[in-house]
Amino acid sequence: MRYSSQPSSLQEGDGSEPGASTLEPASGCLTIASRLYNLMVMQSLDTAFFALADPTRRAILARLATGEATVMELAEPFDMSQPAISRHLRVLQHAGLVSRRVEGTKRPCRLQAGALDEVEAWLDMLRKALTHNYDRLDRVLGQMQSAVPATTKAKKKQTATKKDRSSAK
């Protein structure tokens, strides 16, 4: 759904040039872990696995996290040809992690909008986590209220209990 290529085109070294930019915004999350989860759910496990299994591709992502870069710039720190870097980029594009835009004769690469460094995505993650937490807190408070007569006693024991917890670690 995010790309139309056949799974086989994800194999390295199939010889074709990098495909057109994947401009569709990814439903992003800040952390790699949740991004991976999205990849797994929304695309295929194989795609995510393949895109992130390679140390060069992980290094490319780390470099792009600091800003846009051309293929030449990306190739620089590696002992690798530009076509080889282009192949890695194509895999990352297929996985929805990287997009490219046209600027004159250059085609700079960047992290896919929303993929890794999007405030909205970060907030969305936070919102989900907190919503879960506070729904649970509602239940905890309900239990505390049904045990109201014990409240005063519990308060007195508070300090001692905490000490127990700290040392029980």
Partner 1 sequence: MNRMTLTTEGDRHVLVTRRFAASPEMVYRAHTEPELIQQWMLGPEGWTMPVCINEARPGGQIRYEWTDGNGNGFHLTGENVELVPFSRIRHIERMHVPDPTPDNHVETRFEADGDGTIMTMRMTLPDTETRAAMLATGMEHGMEASYVRLEAIAQQTPSRP
Among the listed ranges 6-14, 72-80, 91-99, 160-168, the one in contact with partner 1 (CB under 8 A) is 160-168
Among 1, 8, 102, which residue's Cα sits nearest to residue 50? 8
* Spatial CB neighbours of 36, under 8 Å, sequence gap ≥ 6: 48, 52
Binding mask 73-92 for partner 1 (x = CB under 8 A): --------------------
Among the listed ranges 7-15, 80-88, 97-105, 111-119, the one in contact with partner 1 (CB under 8 A) is 111-119
Provide the minimum distance between the beta carbon of 137 and partner 1 in the complex, in angstroms, as a whole number.
4
Pick 20 or 119: Cβ nearer partner 1: 119
Calpha distance 112→96 (Å, rounded)? 7
Calpha distance 110→27 (Å, rounded)? 16
Q: Does 131 help bind partner 1 (rule: CB under 8 A)?
A: yes
Pick 67 or 83: Cβ nearer partner 1: 67
Among the listed ranges 3-11, 43-51, 91-99, 100-108, the one in contact with partner 1 (CB under 8 A) is 43-51
Q: Does 153 help bind partner 1 (rule: CB under 8 A)?
A: no
Q: Which of 1, 6, 13, 62 binds partner 1 (CB under 8 A)?
A: 62
Among the listed ranges 11-19, 31-39, 70-78, 88-96, the one in contact with partner 1 (CB under 8 A) is 31-39
Sign of CA dihedral 29, 119, 103, 54: negative
Among 111, 82, 86, which residue's Cα sits nearest to residue 98? 111
Calpha distance 48→58 (Å, rounded)? 12
Residue appearing with tokens 């759904």: 1
